[in-house]
Amino acid sequence: MPPILFAFLVSLLAGLSTGIGGLIPFFRKRDDTKFLCFSLGLSAGVMVYISFMEMLSDAVEQLVPTQGEGKAQLTALAFFLLGMGLIALIDRLVPEDHNPHEFGHSGPLGKMGVMSAVAIAVHNFPEGLASFMSALADPVSGLSIAIAVALHNIPEGITVSSPVYSATGSKAKAFGLALASGLAEPLGALAGFLFLRSVLTPFAFSMVYAMVAGIMVYLAFDELLPTAENYGHHHLVIYAVVAGMVLMGLTLGLTSL
What does the pLDDT profile of the chain (257 residues) look like in tens digits?
677 788 788 888 888 888 888 888 787 776 667 877 887 788 788 878 888 888 788 889 889 998 998 999 999 999 999 989 987 887 677 555 433 333 333 456 667 677 777 777 776 776 676 667 666 666 765 666 666 667 667 777 877 887 888 778 888 888 988 888 888 888 877 876 776 566 667 787 788 778 878 887 887 888 778 877 877 788 898 999 999 888 878 876 765 66
**Which domain, by its residues, includes 116?**
3-256
Q: Cα(36)–Cα(29) distance, rounded to whole angstroms?
A: 10
Q: Are 158 and 41 in contact (CB under 8 A)?
A: no
Residue 233: which residues within 8 A CB-CB, separation 6 or more?
Answer: 33, 34, 37, 38
pTM: 0.63
Among candidate residues 97, 98, 124, 104, the one with its CA nearest the CA of residue 190 = 124
Residues 10, 140 contacting (CB under 8 angstroms): no
Rounded Cα distance between 164 and 158, Å, is 10
Position 143, amino acid: L
Give residue 97's pLDDT: 46
What pLDDT, on the 0 to 100 scale, is given for residue 99?
Answer: 34
For residue 94, count other CB atoms closer than 10 A to its CB.
Answer: 11
Ramachandran bin of 170, using left for φ above 0, alpha for ψ from -120 to 50, beta for the remaining angles: beta
How many domains are contained in the chain? 1
| The pLDDT value given to residue 134 | 61
